Every structure is written in C-alpha cells, then in structure tokens.
A and B are shown apart, each in its own frame.
Chain A
Amino acid sequence: DTAVSQTPKYLVTQMGNDKSIKCEQNLGHDTMYWYKQDSKKFLKIMFSYNNKELIINETVPNRFSPKSPDKAHLNLHINSLELGDSAVYFCASNWGTGGNTIYFGEGSWLTVV
C-alpha cells in the first residue's frame, strides 16, 4: 500500500482552468503538507495542516486553496491556472510533534498551456 498517494500524477490543462489535486495518507500522521517544486528543483512549502487545521500558509496566491476533510486527506484546489503554476506538487505527511521526518507522495506533474 502506498503511504502517501496523490492523484492525478500528470495533469495538462489550459490557462484559466480550475483543477484539483487529491492527497491521502494511510500512515496515521496528524500533519500534512503541500510543497511545490519548480523547474530548478527548488522545493517550497505552501501549506501545512495539523488535524484538519491550517498551520502554515506561506505566501501563496489565493487562487490556491487547500482543504482537509479529515486528517488523512489534504486536497489542493487551484483556480484560474496560470503558466507559472506549472510545477510538480508534492503532498507529504508526518507526526507534527517531535519533528519527525516527512514522507512524500509521488508528486503531481502539472503543466499549464
């Protein structure tokens, strides 16, 4: 069983569209994250949720809206997609207390054309 799973893995869409990426973890962790990796492989944290509550909200356009229906799921919805949104989006999770290592999903490759 995949520990942190994301869907879809690949997504090609036109500018202006709205799209969602879903993430689920079966590790029992209480904290989930979204990271964005750009073409230069730079990884930047976007959001963090702990037990369904938003903990970290970095400087991200408000076109990006995370939703956590329960602590095992963290979805990312993106409105009005722009060319610059093209990147790999990684979902991740860990136990929030104690600074335990983060486990990453396989990534979702988003291409905006």
Chain B
Amino acid sequence: ELKVEQNPLFLSMQEGKNYTIYCNYSTTSDRLYWYRQDPGKSLESLFVLLSNGAVKQEGRLMASLDTKARLSTLHITAAVHDLSATYFCAVRYTGNQFYFGTGTSLTVIP
C-alpha cells in the first residue's frame, strides 16, 4: 500500500527558531514535491526534488531528498509569522500518480 507520511502533523514554533518537517514514503519514487496551503486557499508549489541528494532553498525554507531512505525534509530557519500554513509533501508514482502526505500544520507564534 502506498503511504506518504509526514511528521509532525501539528507544529507550533516561536519566531526565530529552527525546525524540520519530515516526509517518509513507502515505495520508490523519483520525484518529491513540497506544497504550501494557506487557510481556505489553494496549494502552492514550493519545491520539486528530482534526484537523490537534491537540495533546494528558497528564503527560510530548505528541502532535501534522500531516495535511499525514502525521506525528504523541509527545514525552516529563523521562522517568521508569514510561514504559518499547512505544508504538504507529495510523491509521484508510476502513471503520473501524485500522492500527498498527511500535511503539517505550522503555526509560528511571536
């Protein structure tokens, strides 16, 4: 059974702190995606990770991929309130099927 799991499901962190969200998937895949969803809004693409060891950074967010461990991380550096949102990872499987993780709801508090 295909599974894409994220942890934690809920994360409350103070401004200025660092934290990491983890995404584990059960079956080999060559593509890993990170999305952001603000409350009541659509999903916005953040990163696409294409190969083992890939690392991408945008502002305070950095994503990495370890295909051997079937693990991706989304690292948040010096969090600010604007980063409060729900973050999803997604994995592409055969036949262009995208399966999404359970989501991590992030709240950054002053």
Identify B42's interface contact among A31, A50, A107, CB under 8 A. Answer: A107
Residues of A contacting B100 in the complex (Cβ-Cβ under 8 angstroms): 35, 42-44
| Complex interface: stretch among B15-23, B55-63, B70-78, B91-99 | B91-99
Residue contact A48 to B96, C-beta cutoff 8 Å: yes
Identify A48's interface contact among B37, B41, B86, B97, CB under 8 A. Answer: B97
Mask of A96-109 contacts with B, CB within 8 angstroms, 1/0: 11011111111100
User: Considering only CB atoms and an 8 Å cut-off, how many residues of chain B contact the other chain?
Assistant: 23
**A45 close to chain B: CB less than 8 A:** yes
**A34 close to chain B: CB less than 8 A:** no
Dominant secondary structure at the A interface: strand
Residue contact B43 to A90, C-beta cutoff 8 Å: yes
Cα A37 to Cα B37 in complex, Å, equals 12
| Residues in B7-55 with C-beta less than 8 Å from chain A | 30-31, 33, 37, 41-45, 48
Mask of A36-80 contacts with B, CB within 8 angstroms, 1/0: 000001111100101000011000000000000000000000000
With A41-B103, A99-B30 already in contact, the answer to whether A56 and B42 are too (CB < 8 A) is no
Residues of B contacting A41 in the complex (Cβ-Cβ under 8 angstroms): 37, 86, 103, 105
Chain A residue at smallest Cβ distance from B4: A43
With A101-B33, A106-B42 already in contact, the answer to whether A45 and B98 are too (CB < 8 A) is yes
Name the distance in Å between A20's Cβ and chain B's nearest Cβ. 20
Name the distance in Å between A31's Cβ and chain B's nearest Cβ. 6
Mask of B75-110 contacts with A, CB within 8 angstroms, 1/0: 000000000001010101001111110110100000
Identify A42's interface contact among B42, B90, B95, B103, CB under 8 A. Answer: B103
Cα A44 to Cα B98 in complex, Å, equals 9
Q: Pick 8 A–B contacts, CB within 8 A, sort by A.
A: A43-B88, A44-B100, A55-B95, A56-B95, A56-B97, A101-B33, A102-B98, A106-B42
Binding site for B on A (CB under 8 A): 31, 33, 35, 41-45, 48, 50, 55-56, 90, 94, 96-97, 99-107
